[in-house]
C-alpha cells in the first residue's frame, strides 16, 4: 500500500540546527531521526505513517481501568497510590534507554533550574509516568515501543495490575543469586497491617524529645562537598543487583541502565545532570518543603521467628547516592580515628573480624572480667541532635 506524502511539516535531522528547537519533537518510531513541530504535528505524522501502532496505542488508552486516577490528594498519598497501582519495569530495554535518559535528564534539569515543589514532584513521579507497564489488549506493542510512547506523549493513564512472579524468581532475574537463595531458605513473612504491627514499629523508633535542639547551620560561605562524574558512576555501580527503589520507584538498576555505554551521549548528559542534582543535595539547597519526601522511605515489616517485627526501610535512590558520596569522602579519616576501638566503619569486614576473635578466645580466658552487653533498639533510641551536637 502506497502512503501519500504527508503535508505535515517535518525537519530532517541535519537541518535541526537551523530551526528553533523549542517546539521540535522527535518521532520515536522512525528509524531515521525526524522532528515535527509540536505535539499536533507529531500526532498527525504518527496517525498517517505509523497507523497500526496508533491503533494499538488508542486501544490501550481506551481500555477500562480497574483503578481510577484519584482526585487531588496530599503528595504522600499520591505516591502510595502510584506504588500500588502502577507496576514498573525492572530493566529498561536497550532500544528505549536513550529516550528514557533524555526524559529523566529533562526532569532533573527542571529541578535544578526551578527547585520548586512542583518540579520535585514531577521528578518523583517520573518512573510511574515513564517506566510503568500499561496493558496491551492486542499484545502487538513491544515493551520498547510502549516505553518510547510514554516518553513521547507523557501519558498519565491508569495501569492494570500484573501478576507478580514468586519473590525468589523475581530476585533471581535481577541477578542477585545470593538474595534469591536467602529468600528461599528464609522463614520471614510480611507482617499483617494491623494496629499491633504499627505499635511494634513505633516502639523500635521512639519519638524525638520535644526539647531537642539542633546546632547552628553550617557557614554558607564554606564550600560544600562536591562529587564528580567518575565518583558518581562508581557509587551507582556499587549498588547490589536487585536493590529496591524508594517512594519514587526509581531503582539503582534503572540508573545503571541509563548511564551505561549503550546510552551514548544521552547517558553522558544524564550523568552530568545527576552530578548537579547530588551536588545540590550536598550543599543543602533542596527545597525545604520537599525534604520529608526526599529523605523519607518505604517501610516494610517482617515477622521474626521469635514473634517480633523486623522493619526494613528503603530510601530514595538519589538520597542513597548522596549518602554514598559522603561516606566515601570521610571513611578513610574516620577509620583511622576510631581504629582499633571501633571497627564498624571504614574497615571492610571489621565487625566480622571482631566477632570471630571473640569466638576463638582461648578457654583460659573465659574467667576474665569481660562483659557482653546487648543494647535493644540502641540505634533507634539515639536522637539525631545528640549525635550532631557531639561530633
pLDDT number for residue 81:
86
CA–CA separation, 100 and 255 (whole Å): 10
- Residues 216-236: tens digit of each pLDDT: 777 878 889 999 999 999 999
Whether residue 200 is contained in a domain is answered as no
| Domains of the chain: total | 1
Residue-wise pLDDT for 13-41, tens only, equals: 444 444 444 456 667 666 566 777 766 77
pLDDT single digits (tens) 225-270:
999 999 999 999 999 988 999 999 999 999 999 999 989 999 999 9
pLDDT of residue 152: 81
For residues 368-379, average pLDDT: 56
Q: What does the pLDDT look like over 180-214, one tens digit per residue?
A: 455 554 566 788 888 998 888 888 877 776 766 77
Question: Is residue 9 in a domain?
Answer: yes
DSSP for 177-245? HHHHHHHHT---EEPPSSHHHHHHHHHTSPPPPTT--PPPPPPTTSPPP---HHHHHHHHHTSPTTPPP
Q: Which domain holds residue 9?
A: 1-49
pLDDT value of residue 322: 96
At 365 the pLDDT is 57
∠ CA(366), CA(372), CA(377), 5° rounding? 165
Torsion, CA 334, CA 320, CA 113, CA 101, rounded to 10? 130
pLDDT in tens, 116-146: 999 999 999 999 999 987 665 556 778 898 8
Instruction: Please give the residue that has the higher pLDDT: either 164 or 81.
Output: 81
**147 within some domain:** no
Query: Is pLDDT at 7 greater than 80 in this prediction?
Result: no
Average pLDDT, the chain: 75
Instruction: Please indicate, yes or no, if residue 33 is contained in any of the structural domains.
Output: yes
Residue 70 lies in a domain: no
Q: How confident is the model at residue 380 (pLDDT cuts 50, 70, 90)?
A: low
Residue 337 in any domain: the answer is no
* Residue 12 pLDDT greater than 70, yes or no: no
The model carries a pTM of: 0.70
287 is a domain residue = no
**Model confidence over 79-120: pLDDT tens digits?**
888 888 888 999 999 999 999 999 999 999 999 999 999 999
Is the pLDDT at 162 greater than 70? The verdict is no
CA angle, 124 as apex, 121 and 126 as ends, to 5°?
A: 110
Nearest to 97 by CA among 248, 318, 271, 239: 271
Do residues 134 and 160 make contact, with C-beta atoms less than 8 angstroms apart?
A: yes
- The whole-number pLDDT of residue 171 equals 46
340 preceded by a cis bond (ω within 30 of 0):
yes
Who has greater pLDDT, 115 or 177? 115
Does residue 219 or residue 296 have the better pLDDT? 296
More confident residue, 120 or 298: 120
Task: Determine the average pLDDT of the residues in 357-370.
Answer: 62
- Which CA distances in Å does 335 have to 271, 346, 350? 30, 5, 10
With 90 as the cut, is the pLDDT of residue 272 above it? yes
Per-residue pLDDT reduced to its tens digit, 314-357: 999 999 999 999 999 988 888 787 777 777 777 777 777 777 77
- For cell 513473612, the residue is 189
Of 281-285, 310-314, 381-385, least confident by mean pLDDT is 381-385
Interval 47-58: pLDDT, tens = 777 655 544 444
Closest listed residue to residue 139, CA positions, set 63, 56, 54: 56
How many whole angstroms separate alpha carbon 170 and alpha carbon 176?
Answer: 9
Quick check: is 243 in a domain? Answer: no
Amino acid at each position: 500500500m502506497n502512503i501519500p506524502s504527508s503535508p505535515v511539516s517535518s525537519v530532517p535531522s541535519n537541518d535541526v540546527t537551523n530551526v528553533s528547537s523549542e517546539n521540535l519533537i522527535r518521532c520515536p518510531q522512525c528509524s531515521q531521526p525526524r522532528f515535527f513541530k509540536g505535539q499536533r504535528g507529531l500526532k498527525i505524522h504518527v496517525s498517517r505513517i505509523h497507523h497500526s501502532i496508533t491503533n494499538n496505542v488508542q486501544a490501550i488508552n481506551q481500555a477500562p481501568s480497574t483503578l481510577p486516577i484519584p482526585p487531588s490528594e496530599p503528595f504522600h498519598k499520591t505516591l502510595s497510590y502510584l506504588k500500588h497501582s502502577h507496576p514498573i519495569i525492572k530493566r529498561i530495554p536497550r532500544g528505549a534507554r536513550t529516550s528514557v535518559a533524555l526524559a529523566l535528564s529533562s526532569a532533573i534539569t527542571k529541578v535544578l533550574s526551578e527547585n520548586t515543589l512542583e518540579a520535585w514532584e514531577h521528578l518523583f513521579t517520573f518512573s510511574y509516568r515513564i517506566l510503568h507497564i500499561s496493558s496491551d489488549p492486542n499484545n502487538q506493542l513491544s515493551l520498547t515501543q510502549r516505553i518510547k510512547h510514554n516518553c513521547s506523549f507523557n501519558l498519565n493513564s491508569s495501569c492494570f495490575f500484573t501478576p507478580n512472579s514468586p519473590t525468589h524468581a523475581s530476585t533471581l532475574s535481577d541477578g542477585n543469586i545470593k538474595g534469591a537463595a536467602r529468600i528461599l531458605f528464609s522463614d520471614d513473612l510480611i507482617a499483617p497491617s494491623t494496629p499491633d504491627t504499627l505499635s511494634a514499629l513505633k516502639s523500635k523508633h521512639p519519638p524525638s524529645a520535644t526539647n531537642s535542639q539542633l546546632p547552628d547551620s553550617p557557614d554558607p560561605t564554606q564550600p560544600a562537598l562536591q562529587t564528580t562524574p567518575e565518583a558518581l558512576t562508581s557509587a551507582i555501580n556499587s549498588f547490589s543487583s536487585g536493590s529496591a527503589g524508594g517512594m519514587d520507584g526509581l531503582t539503582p538498576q534503572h540508573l545503571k541502565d541509563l548511564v551505561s555505554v549503550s546510552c551514548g551521549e544521552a547517558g553522558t548528559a544524564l550523568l552530568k545532570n545527576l552530578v548537579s542534582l547530588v551536588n545540590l543535595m550536598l550543599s543543602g539547597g533542596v527545597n525545604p518543603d520537599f525534604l520529608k519526601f526526599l529523605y523519607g522511605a518505604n517501610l516494610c515489616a517482617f515477622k521474626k521467628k521469635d514473634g517480633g517485627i523486623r522493619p526494613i526501610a528503603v530510601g530514595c535512590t538519589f538520597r542513597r547516592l548522596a549518602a554514598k558520596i559522603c561516606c566515601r569522602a570521610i571513611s578513610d579519616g574516620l577509620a583511622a580515628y576510631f581504629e582499633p576501638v571501633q571497627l564498624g566503619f571504614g574497615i571492610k569486614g571489621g565487625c566480622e573480624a571482631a566477632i570471630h576473635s571473640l569466638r576463638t578466645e582461648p578457654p583460659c580466658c573465659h574467667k576474665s572480667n569481660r562483659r557482653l552487653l546487648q543494647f535493644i533498639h540502641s540505634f533507634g533510641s539515639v536522637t539525631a541532635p545528640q549525635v550532631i551536637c557531639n561530633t
